[in-house]
Amino acid sequence: MQEVIHYFQANPIIYKACLSLVILLIYYKVVRLTNKLLHRTIKENSLYYVTRKRFYYLHSVILVVIFIMLWSEARLDLTIYVGFISAGIAIALREIFTNIAALLIIVIQKPFEVGDRVVVNDRAGDVIDQKIFHFVMMEVTSKAEGEQSTGKVVHIPNNYLFTHAVSNASKGFGYVWNEIDVRLTLDSEWEEAKAQFETILNKHTEHISTEARDKVQEASKKYMLHSQDLTPAVSVMVKDGYIKLTLRYLTEPRKLKMTEDIIWREVLECVKENEGVKIA
């Protein structure tokens, strides 16, 4: 053993080469162990891939710093090496840190909660779970397609809160405006159609307007909401050779497709019974 020690002391390059090999073997085991732990704890494939890559970058930075300390003849202060490692950690794991920071904002300020209907980065859905690094949505189609469930589960990083607008249909007073455009020919009796369409809207949505007024009063205690007319209405416009009647009413976000279907059925029945009203 003494001879081996003397040999390494007499040949520092061989000593450093052997030590470097040992460090590489240890690091190989550490990387494999880290990957196994990540694979067991992270079930979502894309999140596992990103996290594994971040840890790979972190291991690489630390390994480079160790080799610099080992092979460099200059003896730098320990704080400099710690600074290199800290910078490597900050760069390699920046998304993890920002996801955790965003989680704190979600928990404290509650821009959305589990069960809310939200739109993030043009992806709409119902929040069904909140995790440390991401939240989970059950995707729905666009408003034009009725916001029906697609059956897809979407995982969105928490840090999207910093880089994308988050629209929450369940916050505020819990209702959204919906509009149905009905096109009539220019010779149609639009006054009669307008009156009958208003009757249809009041029949199905007037009670919602009454409930919404109470919720607006409650929401005004938290948000700067301006007073507005919440009653359903039908507006008239002439455009491109036809008369456009726009039926505007309040509805619950998850009942948009259902209420639209009911109103359209009665509108078509109304048109069918009235010969003076013709759809363009």
Q: Which residues pair with 130 in a beta bridge?
A: 135
Q: Name the token pair of 251.
A: 């509805």
Stronger pLDDT, 10 or 104, i.e. the higher one: 104
**Torsion sign (Cα): 96, 98, 100, 106:** negative
- Provide the residue type at 47 as one letter: L
Nearest residue to 243 via CA among 199, 200, 204, 276: 276
Q: Which residues pair with 41 in a beta bridge?
A: none
pLDDT in tens, 217-244: 666 656 655 656 778 889 999 988 899 9
Distance CA 157, CA 85 (A): 26
In this prediction the pTM is 0.56
pLDDT in tens, 195-223: 999 999 888 887 777 777 766 666 665 66
